[in-house]
Chain A
Amino acid sequence: MSALGIVSIVLVFVGLFFLVVSTIALLIMPDLYTRAHAVAKSETLALLMIFGGLFFHPDLDIHAAFRLVFVLVFSLIANPAAVHALVRAARRSGAEPWTIVDQEGADAELGAVDGRRPS
């Protein structure tokens, strides 16, 4: 495997790691906002890494390189924008953020009295 091929495959698998992390976060995060955070940021970074890795692929010709850059730039803009529009719609529809359920336990842990934290 050539040096370019090694660089390519390493970048692709680093991007794959971020993609797997993003998908697992979509499963285990507690509410819509945290899930959207995972999709908008980690997934976009994964896309950048994978496409950047494929940019070093030995078979890449000029036509494929142009299209690769075009798809990459479009996805870098479109993916966070789409998730942002979704979360804004959810916010206007009254989706509530996940908060600490055990408020009394949290107050006791922080040394708060009657919900007021020591300043």
Chain B
Amino acid sequence: MSPFDSSLDTLLIVAMLVVTLMIAVGLYRVFAGPTVFDRLVAVALVSVNGVVVLVLLGFAYERASLFLDIALGFALLAFLLPIALGRYFEDRDDGTSADGLPSPRSRPSPQGIVPHGLVSERARREQERGLAEHRSSGEDTGRRDADDTGPEDAR
């Protein structure tokens, strides 16, 4: 092996270290993202960076075929994770869900997994909106409850 080839490998190792640093930076968004979807987008980026790290390591260590197999498996898993978790955390307005079951808001929540910011944020907004409607409508409330299927709900 000539020293020039080893300098090429050194540059690949440098690139790999930079990508590893970018994984660490992307993990900040995983921990700090205000909603669960921010975290999942950051996880998608981190896993693509992981694939790049694996491939660069494989070329630097001259085991490209082996590391590319591992990278392919990792890429398959990294493709499934955001799609599955996005479906799981999806929370539609009309209470339906992709699998026909009730929306996740009305399912029992596993402790420690579900406290994502989006649901609490929307609950707060709905609470504010409900209070505002209650304040503005006054004694109209009874009539509004009577025709619940009116044009206001048809939006």
The interface of chain A, by Cβ under 8 A from chain B, is 1-2, 5, 8-9, 12-13, 16, 19-20, 22-24, 26-27, 32, 35-36, 39, 43, 46-47, 50-51, 54, 57-61, 63-64, 67-68, 70-71, 74-75, 78-79, 81-83, 85-90, 92-95
| Contact between chains at A54 and B55 (CB < 8 Å) | yes
What is the predominant secondary structure among interface residues of chain A facing chain B?
Answer: helix
| Contact between chains at B86 and A47 (CB < 8 Å) | no
| Contact between chains at A79 and B48 (CB < 8 Å) | yes
Taken together as a complex, chains A and B put the C-alpha atoms of A71 and B75 apart, in Å, by 8
Closest approach, in angstroms, between the C-beta of A20 and any C-beta of chain B?
Answer: 6
| Contact between chains at A43 and B8 (CB < 8 Å) | no
Our pick among B4, B68, B83 for the contact of A64 (Cβ within 8 Å) is B68
Q: Which residues of B contact A59 (CB under 8 A)?
A: 5, 59, 62, 64
Contact status of A57 and B59, CB under 8 A, knowing A26-B26, A89-B37 = yes
| Contact between chains at A89 and B90 (CB < 8 Å) | yes
18 sample A-B contacts, Cβ–Cβ < 8 Å, listed by A number: A5-B5, A5-B8, A12-B15, A22-B45, A43-B48, A47-B51, A50-B56, A57-B64, A61-B64, A71-B75, A75-B75, A79-B48, A82-B79, A83-B82, A85-B87, A90-B86, A93-B92, A95-B118
Our pick among B55, B81, B91 for the contact of A51 (Cβ within 8 Å) is B55
| Contact between chains at A89 and B87 (CB < 8 Å) | yes
Contact status of A68 and B68, CB under 8 A, knowing A39-B41, A58-B8, A94-B122 = yes
